[in-house]
Amino acid sequence: MGGIFRSVGLMGLCMAALLPGVASADEDEGPLVLAPSSQWHLNYADDSCRMVRLFGEGDDKSAFVIERYEPGDSFFMLVGGKRLRAPRYVDTTFHFGPDGLEYDGPSQDGEFGDYSPALMVSGMHLFAPPDDDLEYQSYNEHFDPEKEAQDTDVFGQEFSAAQEAAISWLEIRRGRARPIRLELGSMGPPMTALRKCTDELLAHWGIDLEAHRGLTRAVVPKESPARWVLPRDYPLNLLSRGAQGLVQFRLSVGADGRPTQCHIQQSTRPEGFDKAVCDALMRRAHFEPALDAQGRPIASYWRNTVRFEMP
């Protein structure tokens, strides 16, 4: 709920070697256009919904993944393939076309099997939200609970099916390398399927979907979540190995605002990071509960991301 990569805690800065260089693109050379090599595949998991489509062949083969962990318009995005290889700190731009979001904010490098390297972005949208709040956000000591309550999404659909259907490609530009364009096809059908899946997720979690459609307030932290997962929570055995991780989590929150259970929705592992996140959150997290259409507290949930990075 919020902008791009809204993290509970940042554990220092990332150190990494540069990847092999990529030849610069000719100024007049257009994007490398990759056609689909598979249909869309939808995976229903206990805590997430994932859409996957493959593109290109041979050295051009690429993967496009979007994943949602709750209802709404934002999603986690992964794009992988050899053609995305570039120096680690090169500027990267994602553009959903023809008239969708053009985003040049932070992304995380990773691996995705045969479709590596991979670029990952959390909190992505097909279009810029009305408040144009597409900046890297991290909770800090100046956290304002009242502003957070106003900014928190309340289970609506910001963008229409017609808008989503008009998006048909994604172009990725990395530094001076030749851009890559994935011919997605109309994003209407996959986004409709994804929305149906996330609605079913809430039912699976025991959440009253209809009551949540009329929320007057979603769950709101009582203080800055930056105080909940701290540098000292970095597991020492993983720190000594130089291990890093990304953990997507969901907290079940009762009508009294207390977290009742911690669920790991997605994680890059090792599992020690999962345990560290849940242990810290169950000890320190406190919330104002969600309110229904009549202003009554109801059971709900709060989800977010923690990144563990080496200094």
Tell me the pLDDT band of 150, cut-offs 50, 70 and 90: low
Q: Is 189 helix (H, G, I), strand (E, B) or coil?
A: helix
What pLDDT was estimated at residue 243? 87
Residue 2 contacts residue 121 (beta carbons within 8 Å): no
What pLDDT was estimated at residue 81? 97
Region of 84 (left: φ > 0; alpha: ψ -120 to 50; beta: rest) is alpha
pLDDT in tens, 159-177: 788 999 999 999 999 988 9
Q: Summarize the confidence of residues 235-264 as an average pLDDT.
A: 92
d(CA 51, CA 77): 10
Q: Summarize the confidence of residues 67-87 as an average pLDDT.
A: 91
d(CA 112, CA 68): 18
Examine residue 117 and say whether the peptide bond preceding it is cis (omega within 30 degrees of 0): yes
**φ, ψ for residue 101, nearest 5 deg:** -65, 135
d(CA 58, CA 249): 35
What pLDDT was estimated at residue 209? 84
Q: What tokens does 301 get?
A: 């949930």
**Measured CA distances, 220 to 17, 55, 70, 150 (Å):** 39, 40, 16, 10
Q: Where in the sequence of the chain do the CATH 3.30.2420.10 domains occur?
A: 215-308
**φ, ψ for residue 136, nearest 5 deg:** -60, 130
d(CA 111, CA 79): 10
pTM of the model: 0.75
Long-range contacts formed by 103-107: CB under 8 A, 24+ apart = 103/4, 103/134, 105/4, 105/5, 105/134, 105/135, 105/136, 106/4, 106/5, 106/136
Q: What tokens does 264 get?
A: 């790991």
- Of residues 230, 196, 241, the one with CA closest to residue 42: 196
Q: What tokens does 132 get?
A: 């144009």
**φ, ψ for residue 103, nearest 5 deg:** -120, 125
Q: Span 215-308: which CATH code?
A: 3.30.2420.10
Q: How many CB atoms lie within 10 A of CB 41?
A: 12
What pLDDT was estimated at residue 61? 98
Please tell me the least confidently modeled range out of 131-135, 222-226, 282-286, 291-295: 131-135
Residue with the bigger pLDDT between 283 and 242: it is 283
Which residues on neighbouring strands pair with residue 261, listed in sequence order?
Answer: 252
Q: What tokens does 1 get?
A: 């709920």
